[in-house]
A and B are shown apart, each in its own frame.
Chain A
Amino acid sequence: MVRDPTVLWHPIASVGDVPPRHVFHGQLLGRELAVWRADDGYINVWENRCLHRGLRLSIGVNNGHELMCQYHGWRYANRTAQCTYIPAHPADAPARTIFNRTFPAAERYGLVWSGEAPSGPPPEVGVLDAGSAMVLRSLPVDAPPGLVAEHLGRYRFCPNDRLDAEEPEVTADGHDDWSVLLTASAGGSSTTAAFFVQPVDSNRSVIRGVLSGSGEAADRLTVLRHHSTLLSNLRDRIEAYAATTPPPEPMEVKLHQVSEQLARVPVASVGRHAPLRVRVSRKWKTAEGVAGFELESIGEQLPSHQPGAHIDVHLPNGLVRQYSITNGPGEGTAYRIGVKREPNSRGGSECLHESVREGDVLAISEPRNNFPLRRDSVRTILLAGGIGITPLLAMAQTLRKDDLDFRLHCFAQSPAHLAFPELLKELGSSVTTHLGLTPEATVTRLRELVGRYETASHLYVCGPGPMLGAARRVATECGWPDDAIHFEYFRNDNEVDNSSSFEISLSRSALTLPVPAGKSVLEVLRANAIPVPSSCEQGACGTCGVTVLEGEPVHQDVYLNDSEKLAGDRIMTCVSRSRTDRLVLDI
């Protein structure tokens, strides 16, 4: 009985067909396959078709991590086959998740195996050594696979050590529709050959043979030639026989349709504005787990930035993330940012680390500064925790150029964790590093560094939440007023409660709008076409702030300091809500 070929493993290539950075064009049961090995060794077996316009991916480019389509530069990731980059829309590219179709892959006996939906592991042949089998030249035959297997059952050959044997004895040890196991014996030596018939299409097959014994035999070439000649003769006989009957119809291959959601064209993203286009001109490892990116304009001159400013980076996976500019004053040809790979990345830092490469185009916002540097200060203390160094680097370089007194203190796990070491070196003796401190030791050290408040001193802190909180507490205890403590959070670690409902009254537009539970003020404003700039949308960056004229807000952000929150005259529309039934906003 013929077993259903779609649930079986079939060989589709020799291991030698998939060298690094190559794409092999395979075919199984009528279906074309793009087969490629990534630099991590993984073999990808994919539908040979870009989901965009059907271009064969086998003529694409294997860059070791991704396969790039030649037509429009779409890129698909190793292992998942997820589309990671669409160059035509660097600003708003796929918030949609696009996957190419993948098939299972295995390596055994020097062959690459795959199947439509194979069950269990690939076939095992006891006498063959999975590692050192000798793989014969693959031989395509224009004949149905079943016919090829039938003829292979009568294949006669000599054992490896007795290639001159006149009358070798060949016994069949196994035979089915897709494989034949034969052993040739003569003069005391014997060799087992396993032949697998790859069903390319209804009238096309590839004979893939593997010999027992060492693939390192001294007379390897002679053995290969022996089989090459015999198999070529066999092919001629099979093809002559097959030509006596009309060829069967080609197999019908069903191409999957894309989902309805993917078939809809997404509208241009609204809300967050990303007018600038930059090219990743350099990507490098600047510290353990931190990648540096140099973003250079592909069009007009980049807008100037102030120290402390950040940009929104619109990522190819649809996410938007904020990164501080590290540039010193006057360095306007490219922005440099540092991106720490977050272990619990929600896809932002991971995308930048894994997918974004040199040469890619990204959409970014204009620089925005919610962490301004005062330059009327006689003493400035910059406290950086980990990747929090980035805005403070811009500040330190500015203060140095302006000849203002400052100290930059960098807290990090180890020297290898200090990002942008070349800039720190340039800043020389103004920089002090504090390495490998426990949380308790960090607080003690902060107390020493901050010291008593003196007039015209300013403190700038950026780093992880706990360190930031500690620094603010210490400074307050040491008598620093709120307006001398400047800080920037990366993110809002507080849980945001949006279960209340209330009303907002917009004084300038004479509108009253309900804010239901589950919706933010920002979302309600946007739904009513009232534009409000926004960036992090989690109460950390300060971009979406508006003035409150009446009502008592519930802040929930980490941007405003305590006295600002107490004053109650400003809210972050992305997270803040109302304690009163109504908030009157100055919009």
Chain B
Amino acid sequence: MATIGDVAGCSDPVILNEWHAISALEEIVLGVVGETVLLDERVGYTMFEDSACFAWRSTPDLTLGGPVDAVAIRDPLPVRSQYGYLWTSLGSPATELFSIPEFDDAERRNVHAGSPMLATSAARAVENFLDIAHLAFVHQGILGEQPHTEVSDYDVNLVDDEIIATKCDFYIPKVGPNFDAGIIRYRYRVPRPFCVMLYWDSYDDPSREDVIGMWVQPMRQEQVRAHRYLGTIDRTSTDNEIRHHQLLILGQDKPIVENQRPKRLPLHPQAETPIRADKSAIAYRRWLSEKGVTYGVIPALT
């Protein structure tokens, strides 16, 4: 819902200067114009046979689905093709993206698990990803099961300006042949305001961790695409099975996050009622506040 006096366009320098994933590389059609929305602006993109990627503010001469030649692209936006995604920025981004050491692990499968759209703000989507207590209710039978609803105390720290939540123990039902029902230990990482990651001991090789990332593309203040990345040791599931599973989970989250009000994440400490299970969410809201993020949130200043 638009608020009074809301004008389209992002004036938040923090978010403007961020790298945002706008497409999985595998979904880009070579030499053809793709188009998406980023921070209220239409953005075109493509990739050529030499793997060179381009992104630009949409222009009338480069229409969606039409052919494109590199020389026709004026004023290209900064791009990175990394971790299987095309990243761009409407501001002046840092030289490097955050690091994902697991991505270069030769034994690991890197799977793109879909980019569904959510009618909510990026920060609400990230907070839902960080949330442990909802697993027993929203993902009943998959990631949690009643009556095992308790969230025990866990640690949250700020390390190199990333939020790290560790020792996040939660009950998980029997989800596969190699895993018995019981307590699973998660580790969360929020490397950038709208990028969030989750680690857990791999079912197939408990000495290693599986990782899932969600890169939330803020299309508008209250509309996002959630690009899901999986780096897994899984030796049994096919890529499509992994995608289906991730889409099922996100499909359960979608009606929840789309029914939160306000849709923008309120940063004022008294806007909502936190409990101890929300430690990571509290840290996330404070961190966004300290960075001065305003896009898709309701700033704490009243």
Q: Show the binding face of A for B, using Cβ within 8 Å.
A: 32, 48-49, 51-56, 59, 70-73, 86-91, 98, 249-250, 252, 255, 257-260, 262-263, 265-268, 277, 279, 298, 359-361
Interface residues of A, dominant DSSP: loop
**Is A258 touching B272 in the complex (CB atoms < 8 A)?**
yes
Are A360 and B273 touching (Cβ within 8 A)?
no
Q: A70-B138, A250-B1, A258-B270 are in contact. Are A88 and B275 (CB under 8 A)?
A: yes
Residue of B nearest to A362 (CB): B147
| B4 neighbours in A (Cβ, 8 Å) | 249-250, 252
Q: Which of A51, A59, A257, A279 has the most CB of B within 10 A?
A: A257
List, sorted by A's number, 9 A–B pairs whose CB atoms are closer than 8 Å: A54-B266, A56-B260, A72-B133, A88-B133, A88-B149, A88-B150, A91-B150, A277-B150, A279-B147
Instruction: Report the minimal beta-carbon distance from A482 to chain B, rounded to whole angstroms.
Output: 44
Contact string, B270-291, partner A, CB cutoff 8 A, digits 1/0? 1111111111001000000000
Bound form: Cα–Cα A265–B266 in Å: 17
Q: Assuming the A-B contacts A49-B261, A54-B261, A252-B4, are A88 and B151 also in contact, with contact meaning beta carbons closer than 8 angstroms in the complex?
A: yes
**A residues near B65, Cβ cutoff 8 Å:** none
| Pair A266/B276 contact, Cβ less than 8 Å | yes
Interface centre among A55, A88, A262, A298 (most CB of B within 10 A): A88
A60 to B: closest C-beta gap in Å: 10
Q: Cβ of B269 < 8 Å from any Cβ of A?
A: yes
Interface string of B146-185 (1 = CB under 8 A from A): 1111110100000000000000000000000000000000
In the bound complex, do residue A89 and residue B138 qualify as a contact, i.e. CB atoms below 8 Å apart? no
**A428, chain B: closest CB distance, angstroms:** 36
* Nearest Cβ on chain B to A87's Cβ, whole angstroms: 4
- A268/B272 in contact, CB under 8 A: no
Give the distance in Å from the alpha carbon of A51 to the alpha carbon of B268 in the complex.
14
Given the complex of chains A and B, what is the CA–CA distance between A59 and B138 in angstroms? 13
CB-based contact A89/B272 at 8 Å: no
Contacts of B271 in A (CB 8 A): 255, 257-258
- Docked-complex contact B256 and A98, CB < 8 angstroms: no
Interface residue B98 (Cβ < 8 Å from any Cβ of A) = no
With A and B bound together, what is the CA distance between A499 and B257 in angstroms? 54
A279 to B276, CA, bound (A): 21
Q: Do residues B272 and A88 form an inter-chain contact, with CB atoms below 8 A?
A: no
B136 within 8 A of partner (CB): yes
Chain A residues in 8 Å Cβ range of B9:
none
Of the residues A51, A52, A56, A298, contact of B259 by C-beta under 8 Å: A56
Q: Which residues of B contact A55 (CB under 8 A)?
A: 256, 259-261
| A87 and B270 contact, Cβ closer than 8 Å, known pairs A279-B147, A298-B147 | no
User: Once bound together, how far apart are the Cα atoms of A86 and B276, in whole Å?
Assistant: 11
B262 within 8 A of A: yes
Q: Which residue of A lies closest to B266 (CB)?
A: A54
From the candidates A52, A56, A258, A277, name the one contacting B261 in the complex (CB within 8 A): A56
B134 in the interface (beta carbon within 8 A): yes
**B286 vs chain A, min Cβ distance (A):** 12
Q: Given the complex of chains A and B, what is the CA–CA distance between A86 and B151 in angstroms?
A: 11
Partner of B275, one of A48, A56, A89, A259: A89
B224-274 interface with A by 8 A CB criterion: 255-256, 259-262, 266, 268-274
